[in-house]
A and B are shown apart, each in its own frame.
Chain A
Amino acid sequence: MPSSVMPTSVTPSGQVPSAAISAAGLRKSYGDKLVLDGIDLHIPSGSVFALLGPNGAGKTTVVKILSTLIRADDGQARVAGHDVATSAQAVRAAIGVTGQFSAVDGLITGEENMLLMTELHHLSKREGRQVAAELLERFDLRTAAKKPAATYSGGMRRRLDIAMTLVGSPRIIFLDEPTTGLDPRSRHAMWGMIRELVAGGATVFLTTQYLDEADELADRIAVLSNGKIVAEGTSDELKRRIPGGHVRLRFTDPAAYRSAAATLRDITADEEALALRIPSDGSQRELRSILDWLDAADIEADEFTVHTPDLDDVFFALTSANVPAQTEETAR
């Protein structure tokens, strides 16, 4: 559900509560390398926000700063109404973080990991055991609970990781690339879990390099490239910004491909795939005129497909100007 239609609760003082997460002008460099170059964020409570970007764009650095793990060089950020720099402990009490690298203690069992968390949240022994058992059950880890976490598969470790993050019912949850390295089934299971969290009222801050993941889960998406947010909006808003729709013609005969490529104008050619792209908005009228045009030119493609713009197009259009090779490679 888009956050904008959710009723906003009002505090006793009559003020509308501030955003779950907000940031202004965050900067961070490591040595000479500028990693974040002025990040502004405004994330309403109860929404899912996806920070999308290729490897090295600075996604993890944003999460680290917002979750009080590291300090920004410049700029301000507030999480759950507290300044991350001056009230770090108050921020920590409100958040749950699942980092990119699994944050479980591999030397002890899954259950012991969970109990460690309940103790650090100062739950009573009884309550702790109950919370641990519930979460282990919910994340399908009951049978593996007594085994050392180091023996878990990647998907199990991720699940344990998130289960540990949920102890103490954090209002704001950071998930740094939660599905990287997971097989498709675990990935879909993870999406289901994230939706459940949001249904329970939590705000989720997600980073991902997968466009479909952002499309699937997020209310709002920001595209991060070279330390800057280059676009922000809903999935539809972003898609609308890019004229990525096209018709794709594929040939099996290289000679037919070459003659078509020579005849047609305003096209993008992909010689390797023997394919041509003709820009199109996908409307019936335009398709008909393209077909007529092809008939008139006596071009017969072996395959004719219509593509509407997707987040891939947006992503490449926004980020490829700077690092084309890397983007191409990592975003697939």
Chain B
Amino acid sequence: MSTFALALRDSNTMLRRNLLHMRRYPSMTLNLLLTPVLLLLLFVYIFGDTMSAGAGGAGRSDYIAYLVPGILLMTIGSTTIGTAVSASMDMTEGIIARFRTMAIHRGSVLVGHVAGSVVQCMLSVALVGAVGVAIGFRAADATALEWLAAFGLLTLFSLALTWIAVGMGLVSPNAEAASNNAMPLIFLPLISSAFVQVDSMPGWFQPIAEYQPFTPAIETLRGLLLGTEIGHNGWLAAAWAIGLTALGYRWSKTVFARDPA
């Protein structure tokens, strides 16, 4: 078997292992959805009036439209915290040592985690998106191509954050440490344009909010689904996604190649 065919076959096996874990323990996935869903409901129904004023919108439905794209990207961030935790837990399991002493494609363990987590992210996005639709989110004007692009953006972003999360999981000695190390993945959306516009933030903070990975992705998604101005955010989002994927991939691979303790 060629190296590539071997890599593909073993990665597929590992992906199915990770999907099996998810299917057996759906509560792990669902728990991670709690944060984005609760924040969505909190910001719409509890802080809604103030927030919609701050976001420059007129009413609740406008603020829902503003909020949902940000919540969808936050869902990815939240799900990948689970990736970091499960990658770190997996590394402490004896089975990883077994994999390392088998004549399999070495990267397949990581690829399995990443591919499984991307699937998990997209499922989570669909579930949270359904909650958004249930409370009144509509993207009626988006064309099929725009939907496709939105789907592509969410997938690419899932891939990027997942590779970073796997790296975080690999360098963490245990699940608690992994969860702490992965905090930025849920914290960054809070200081992005997900909840309020960047313009409303203090001047010194605006560049941070504007150029961190989440804001360009959120703005691009808004543009695709709601027809708002995308501008340079499309390129920024793509650059972040590709850059983080490359970084996370190199990082994870390097850490995994080290001798285990």
Contact = CB atoms under 8 A, between A and B. Distances in A.
Interface of A: 67-71, 89-90, 92-93, 95, 97, 99, 101-108, 112, 116, 119-122, 148, 161, 164-165
A95 B100 CA distance: 12
B21 interface: yes
A112 B21 CA distance: 11
Contacts of A106: 93
A83 to B, nearest CB: 15
A69 B100 contact: yes
B98 interface: yes
B130 interface: no
B206 to A, nearest CB: 45
The 10 A-B residue pairs whose C-beta atoms are closest, nearest first, are A103-B94, A103-B98, A93-B103, A92-B103, A70-B259, A97-B101, A119-B13, A101-B94, A67-B101, A105-B95
Contacts of B9: 122
A69 B260 contact: yes
Contact of A71 (B93, B99, B259): B259
5 contacts: A71-B259, A97-B101, A102-B94, A106-B93, A108-B21
A71 B100 CA distance: 12
A105 B101 contact: no
A89 B7 CA distance: 14
Contacts of A116: 13, 17
B134 interface: no
Contacts of A69: 97, 100-101, 259-260
Contact of B17 (A68, A90, A105): A105
Q: Which of B94, B95, B97 has the most CB of A within 10 A?
A: B95
Interface in B1-48: 1, 9-10, 13, 17, 20-21, 24-25
B37 to A, nearest CB: 25
A97 B98 contact: yes
A228 B246 CA distance: 44
Interface string B87-131: 000000111011111111000000000000000000000000000
Contacts of A107: 20-21, 24-25
A99 B97 contact: yes
By secondary structure, the B interface counts as helix
B82 to A, nearest CB: 14
B102 A105 contact: no
B101 A92 contact: yes
Interface in B207-235: none
B85 to A, nearest CB: 13
A105 B20 CA distance: 11
Interface string B65-76: 000000000000
Contacts of B260: 69-70
A119 B8 CA distance: 12
Contact of A108 (B13, B20, B101): B20
A93 B98 CA distance: 12
Contacts of A105: 17, 93, 95
A233 B55 CA distance: 81
Contacts of A121: 102
Interface string B237-261: 0000000000000000000000110
B232 to A, nearest CB: 44
B13 A120 contact: yes
A70 B97 CA distance: 10
Contacts of A120: 10, 13, 99, 102, 104
A68 B101 contact: yes
Contacts of A164: 98
Contact of A89 (B17, B98, B103): B103
Given A89-B103, A99-B97, A107-B25, 13 more contacts: A68-B101, A69-B100, A71-B259, A93-B103, A97-B97, A99-B94, A103-B95, A103-B98, A108-B24, A116-B13, A120-B102, A122-B9, A164-B98
Given A112-B20, A122-B1, A92 B102 contact: yes
A121 B101 CA distance: 12
A42 to B, nearest CB: 22
Scoring B9, B93, B98, B103 by chain A CB atoms within 10 A of each residue's CB, the highest score goes to B98
A55 to B, nearest CB: 17
